[in-house]
Amino acid sequence: MVIVGAGFGGLTCARALKRAAVDVLLVDANNYHLFTPLLYQVASSLLDPSQIAQAVRSLIRPLKNCDFRLARVRGADFERKLLRTDAGDLAYDYLVLAAGSESNFFGNAEVEAHAIGLKELPDGLALRNWVLGCFEAAARASSDEERRRLLTFAVVGGGPTGVEYAGALQELTHLVLRKDYPRLDLSLARIVLIEGTGSLLGAFDPRLREAAARSLKRKDVEVWFDAMVATADQDGVALKDGRRLDARTVVWTAGVKASDLGAALGLPLSKGGRIRVDGLLNPAGHPEVFVIGDLAAYEQDGEPLPMLIPVAMQEARHAASVIRARVEGAIPRDFRYSDPGIMATIGRNSAVAQLGAIRLSGFPGWVFWLAVHLYNVVSLRSKLLVLIDWAWDYLFFDRPIRLIVRAREPRALAGARAAPRRRGGSSRS
């Protein structure tokens, strides 16, 4: 069988099939698994990428029936049970699609061209480079007007990612970079969180939403409510109500959409490009195909399940159980999601958590958030390194990963790609 995607859904499914009588091939366009809840900490110079990303091959070593293929899916032939990839066709008996999601700019080409997303590891690295570059440019700017624009950061989207990044960026600016730039007037710095509705963290209890807004205010993060972005350019964003914010940096966390894999495969789609599935997580007419995670559109009690990691992991385990049942000739059951709760941190000593009837905010919520995220970091090495960096930052107000590093293609490889292909000669290498 083939699993497309080595995120939380795909990796969980592969692990759940560890003792099943199937051979598993895990396929992904990247060779690493990313712990996305802490990506904003890479973008805010707190964590190193290696602490939240780990090579897939190292993670599947204990799975004797699992292998990995670095490839990008191009399509599928469902009649012949073939998956088309840029590394060749892959035959399957069962196919699990767990390709996840991507930033949703809602068709706004100007915003997409000028905003930085925060969904993938390259996004986090690019944003870290950009922010640090803005401080370097501000240090050599010739006027307060230019410095103010360089040090104004617009974060669009008041969900967990936007709230967490805004709080982390404020702490990076006022607790860490203040020491790096003693001659730079950081009273000119502004962090503005732009939310299109009347409250932050829309999925949370109203009391927790208010607690999060108060915490951001105490941290000097400006929050603009009922502010819908109309367009963006290199100098800032314009809102639909006529307001404008001059900002050199626009960070987009206002939504995600399903991977375009569903459209490429020609399967029935719902709103947001998600593939419609039944109770066994199969798209109509394809009992050998399973769709899980952000790519799956599954309704429970008349409502679509949210695009969250716990949903992906529970669907992954269920898909694995259905595959095992079919291999063994048993009758599988329909999927039912159990909500474990949601949480978000606003920075040092402040977070909100909603766990059934339990509501936590402030310091207790922050401690709970730390414990849960540290527990869920993939490897023991990463847990230790993350804990050390968190403790260092907490005690010394210092973030060690303040590096502007840009990947560059090796000259030999660039030259090989630029060189014209020779005609004739042997086809063998």
Kind plus residue range of the DSSP H or E element containing 69 = strand 66-70
Kind plus residue range of the DSSP H or E element containing 379 = none
Is 164 known to be catalytic? yes
* Same-domain check for residues 241 and 266: no
DSSP state at residue 295: G
* Predicted confidence (pLDDT) per residue in 338-357, tens digit: 999 999 999 999 999 999 99
**CA distance linking residue 215 with residue 212, whole number of Å:** 5
Q: Which tokens is 347 given? A: 């920075």
How many other β-carbons are positioned within 10 Å of the β-carbon of residue 284? 11
Task: Look at residue 86 and give its three-state secondary structure.
Answer: coil
Question: How high is the pLDDT of residue 426?
Answer: 38
Whole-prediction pTM: 0.92
| Strands of the sheet with 95-97, listed across from one edge | 66-70, 24-28, 2-4, 95-97, 289-291
Kind plus residue range of the DSSP H or E element containing 222 = strand 222-224
* Same-domain check for residues 217 and 269: no
- Pairing, β 95-97 against β 229-233: unpaired
Query: Is the CB of residue 151 less than 8 Å from the CB of residue 247?
Result: no
* Same-domain check for residues 236 and 278: no
Query: Is the CB of residue 136 less than 8 Å from the CB of residue 248?
Result: no
**C-alpha 48: how far from chain center:** 16
Kind plus residue range of the DSSP H or E element containing 373 = helix 362-376
Is 41 contained in some domain? Answer: no
For the chain, give the percent of residues with pLDDT over 90: 91
How many other β-carbons are positioned within 10 Å of the β-carbon of residue 162? 25
Q: What CA–CA distances, in Å, run from 94 to 24, 50, 97, 325?
A: 9, 32, 10, 13
Looking up residue 201, the CATH number of its domain turns out to be 3.50.50.100
Q: Which tokens is 105 given? A: 């700019």
Is 401 contained in some domain? Answer: no
| Strands of the sheet with 229-233, listed across from one edge | 229-233, 236-239, 244-246
* Same-domain check for residues 229 and 143: yes
Catalytic-role residue among 110, 136, 146, 164: 164
Q: What CA–CA distances, in Å, run from 174 to 150, 253, 389, 405?
A: 15, 22, 18, 22
Is 206 contained in some domain? Answer: yes
Looking up residue 315, the CATH number of its domain turns out to be 3.50.50.60
| Distance spanning both ends of the chain, measured CA to CA | 32
* Same-domain check for residues 244 and 181: yes
Provide the β-strand partners of residue 153. Answer: 191, 249
Question: How high is the pLDDT of residue 272?
Answer: 81
* Same-domain check for residues 243 and 261: no
Residues of the chain with pLDDT under 50: 420-429
Domain boundary, last residue among 328, 361, 385: 328
Instruction: Tell the residue number behind the tokens 């790609």, with chain if given.
Output: 417
* Same-domain check for residues 123 and 191: yes
Ranges of H-type helices in 60-117:
109-114
Instruction: Please enumerate in sequence order all residues whose Cβ is within 8 A of that of 60, keeping only pairs 6 or more positions apart, or say none.
Output: 11, 14, 26, 66, 67, 68
Number of domains making up the chain: 2
Provide the β-strand partners of residue 4. Answer: 27, 97
Structural domain span for residue 25: 2-29+71-103+256-328
* Same-domain check for residues 311 and 235: no
Is 60 contained in some domain? Answer: no
Is 207 contained in some domain? Answer: yes
* Same-domain check for residues 245 and 300: no
* Same-domain check for residues 210 and 245: yes
* Same-domain check for residues 97 and 132: no
Is 333 contained in some domain? Answer: no
* Same-domain check for residues 145 and 82: no
Provide the β-strand partners of residue 155. Answer: 193, 251
How many other β-carbons are positioned within 10 Å of the β-carbon of residue 213? 21
Is 372 contained in some domain? Answer: yes
